[in-house]
Structure 1
Amino acid sequence: MRDFVSERARAIPPSGIRRFFDLAGKMEDVISLGVGEPDYTTPWHICEAAITSIEQGHTSYTSNTGLETLRRDLSSFLNNRYQISYDPLSEMIVTTGVSEALDIAIRAVIDPGDEALVVDPIYVSYGPCVTLAGGKPVLMPCLEKDHFRLTPDLLMEHITPKSKVLILNFPNNPSGAVMRKEDIKGIADVAIDHDLLILSDEVYAELTYEGKHCAVASVDGLWERTVTLSGFSKAFAMTGWRLGYFCAPKEITAAALKIHQYIMLSAPTMAQYGAIEALRHGQDPMEQMVREYHMRRNLFVDGLNRIGLPCHLPEGAFYAFPSVKQTGLSDQEFAERLITEAGVAVVPGSVFGTAGEGHVRCAYAVSRNDLSEAIARMGEFIQNL
């Protein structure tokens, strides 16, 4: 049967994250810092709005681009919060999670042989999505000394005549790195000079702890060459609702919409009604959640450094990315032994790219008690090596 599998499907690896998540699920007394998901449930008023939509019979397809009311509310949200303006009628698509938004963005702009420049480390799906579109992912290893940010020099080193797209993800999964406005301005000069289109996944934008998130499209000269991708999963604790959005100049939006029409048709209707409620009345619960993550970050990163796992201070998302090099173990060996010997699940940094080697990703989206216990177990594990 292997002969029936396409070469592109063979070329992509299975997710390295799910392996450790599944392993943790089979063991008792494991503290899982593996899967990047809020430990909060969706606020009830959002759930109630979705339930009410079902009770009122709103169970049919919506427009391919999503409910117009949602797109208008989302346009206002992005304009007010991040100073980026998109026409809700021609420059926005509501998608089934930001994962779909990323997929249709890549397929709308990548031709076979095109190169996509991808920051490294980065979430596991970016490279495979480029490969499935027939393109070639080119990983750019962002260094810890640069706080895992992309620098203009690093970008320049990897540009070739085939470079077409630059894929960014800040705040970053797995490192928690953030690109400030001055950082993006440096990247903007290179992107404009080399005529690169930017796909910017900003799903962790609301989870920014130091200052305010800078949307890539808000920087001078970048709106017309940026596709903004985001969703409701992280900020509003709506991972299972599978709702994201795609925003871009109308020509690119029209191209992506054709792909969306054929593979998805429209995002789940009741989830869209929940998202309207989230945008209109979900700011307070979101800000409370972000404040709690901020405190957990401080607690956990301080603990990691104290037990001898050097960790830069992540300025966004809910991940710590400590180095395990000084233990003498590879990141794979460290993660495997930590879960079996100490009952703490983390993800090896190497699954996120070559720049992640020697690190592990720890999601601090668990209770403070669990974080303290995880630090204690990790400390004992290191002492016993």
Structure 2
Amino acid sequence: MKLSKRAESLAPSSTLAITAKAAALKAEGHDVIGLGAGEPDFNTPMHIIEAAYAAMKAGHTKYTASGGLLPLKKKICEKLLNDQKLSYDPSEIIVSTGAKHSLYSLFQAMLDEGDEVIIPTPYWVSYPEQVKLAGGVPVFIEGKEENEFKFTAQQLKSAITEKTRAVIINSPSNPTGSLYTKDELEEIGTVCLAHDLVIVSDEIYEKLVYHGAEHVSIAQISEPLRKQTIIINGLSKSHAMTGWRIGFAAGDKKIIKAMTNLDSHSTSNPTTISQYAAIAAYGGPEEDVEMMRSSFEARLDEVYSKLVSIPGLSCVKPKGAFYLFPNAKAAAEMTGFQNVDDWVAALLDEEKVALVPGSGFGSPDNVRLSYATSLDAILEALGRIERFIKRHQTTN
């Protein structure tokens, strides 16, 4: 059966692929430690679960407006005002079936065939594929490791052409955990305004920052930048609600309306019960959010110190999210593998440790490992990695 060209052009998600392979090995009885997880290992806070149950009992199980419940939009406006001093009207908000869906609808609404979107590497795996699905062209600029994987305003300026429509900023970043400062964002914003670029600001890890670091949205810097920015966010990471599938976009009314029209012909609306849960999440206590954040911070410190002691691995210490993105090129070379992808595959086969190759993020010398799992499991995995490296060093 014939497939469409756009379907054939897509690369499968490397994160989901490694997770599936690890799950298959585990099903065969192997003691697999998977460090590919992109979700918190905590349950959704109980007051949110109870709100969903109450909504079901009250009969809130029907369709809603395509762009989401008005009370939820108002809660999102309150959240943006309280957290970031950003003022939005509900007409500037769309609730979607997860932040990933918000991004998908955004690119479908704003891109025409051949429009270019600048994507810094390392990137989240779905950015370039979603741009291609909308007929756009991904243009990559390198976030250099020596600059904490962040791109600069000068790099952005050099990549702009007459076809450039937008640039993506992901801060804190998946996969690197890097965090842009206000000064860096101000310089980038100046270039964006000068060239009339839409700024797609993915802030899904906003609540997960460590050691006094501060998340700043580029939309906070000035009113012109607020108008030029589409904020993408949601509850998946901050409130351990990955499976509830609730995200949102905030920005220009015209784009939000177009996204809403698109969603009316695809998903109809985000899951009603999840929307009521989201109202409770955005309107409820933050103790559970802080508990998760502080737990991740403690894990980061212990895991990072162990990781950088392993021969052949070096790593920029992240300031946010829940990933480490070490450079494993030296480890692959000293153990006789041609590249990091082969090294990762052998590690899974021999030691049953699942990492995600950096090639899926546009950074083939690196690997991503998540510390959104138990500390004991992570430390055991690192011990296996060290054993793997030392064994292959001896035999090569």
Shared fold by TM > 0.5?
Answer: yes
| Other-structure match for 1:268 | 271
| Other-structure match for 1:299 | 302
Structure 1: which amino acid aligns with 2:88? Answer: Y
Once structures 1 and 2 are overlaid, which stretch shifts more, 162-171 or 312-321?
A: 162-171
d(CA) in 2 for partners of 1:98 and 1:124? 14
| Other-structure match for 1:324 | 328
CA-to-aligned-CA distance 1:52-75 (integer Å, 9 cap, x gap): 111111000112221111111111
How far the C-alpha of 1:35 sits from its partner, in A, is 2.2
d(CA) in 1 for partners of 2:96 and 2:106? 11
**Aligned partner of 1:60 among 54, 59, 62:** 62
| Other-structure match for 1:75 | 77
SS at match of 2:248: strand
Structure 1: which amino acid aligns with 2:115? Answer: D
d(CA) in 2 for partners of 1:6 and 1:65? 29
How far the C-alpha of 1:299 sits from its partner, in A, is 1.0
| Other-structure match for 1:160 | 161
d(CA) in 1 for partners of 2:364 and 2:154? 22
| Other-structure match for 1:336 | 345
**Aligned partner of 1:383 among 360, 369, 390:** 390
How far the C-alpha of 1:96 sits from its partner, in A, is 0.3
Structure 2: which amino acid aligns with 1:382? Answer: I
SS at match of 1:49: helix
Identity of aligned residues (%): 38
TM-score (norm 1): 0.97
**Cα RMSD after superposing both structures:** 1.1
SS at match of 1:51: helix
| Other-structure match for 1:13 | 11
SS at match of 1:26: helix
TM-score (norm 2): 0.94
| Other-structure match for 1:240 | 243
> Any residues of structure 2 matched to 1:273-284 within 5 Å, and which?
273-284=276-287
Structure 2: which amino acid aligns with 1:101? Answer: S
CA-to-aligned-CA distance 1:304-348 (integer Å, 9 cap, x gap): 101131111111100000011112142211211111111211000
Q: Establish whether residue 373 from structure 1 lines up as the match of residue 380 from structure 2.
A: yes
d(CA) in 1 for partners of 2:70 and 2:99? 19
Q: Establish whether residue 345 from structure 1 lines up as the match of residue 354 from structure 2.
A: yes
> Any residues of structure 2 matched to 1:33-52 within 5 Å, and which?
33-52=35-54
Long gaps (5+) in structure 2 = none
| Other-structure match for 2:293 | 290
- Matched-pair contact (CA < 8 Å) for 1:170–1:179: yes
Where has structure 1 moved over 2 Å in runs of 4 or more? Answer: none
| Other-structure match for 1:99 | 100
How far the C-alpha of 1:369 sits from its partner, in A, is 0.9
SS at match of 2:169: strand
| Other-structure match for 2:23 | 25
How far the C-alpha of 1:167 sits from its partner, in A, is 1.4
d(CA) in 2 for partners of 1:120 and 1:358? 12
CA-to-aligned-CA distance 1:242-294 (integer Å, 9 cap, x gap): 01001112122112111111111211011011111111224110001000000
Structure 2: which amino acid aligns with 1:63? Answer: A
d(CA) in 1 for partners of 2:267 and 2:17? 28
Once structures 1 and 2 are overlaid, which stretch shifts more, 359-368 or 326-335?
A: 326-335
How far the C-alpha of 1:157 sits from its partner, in A, is 2.1
- Matched-pair contact (CA < 8 Å) for 1:84–1:215: no
| Other-structure match for 2:317 | 313
- Matched-pair contact (CA < 8 Å) for 1:224–1:249: yes
d(CA) in 1 for partners of 2:81 and 2:340? 41
d(CA) in 2 for partners of 1:382 and 1:86? 52
d(CA) in 2 for partners of 1:76 and 1:346? 38
d(CA) in 1 for partners of 2:288 and 2:105? 31
How far the C-alpha of 1:233 sits from its partner, in A, is 0.4
Q: Establish whether residue 228 from structure 1 lines up as the match of residue 223 from structure 2.
A: no
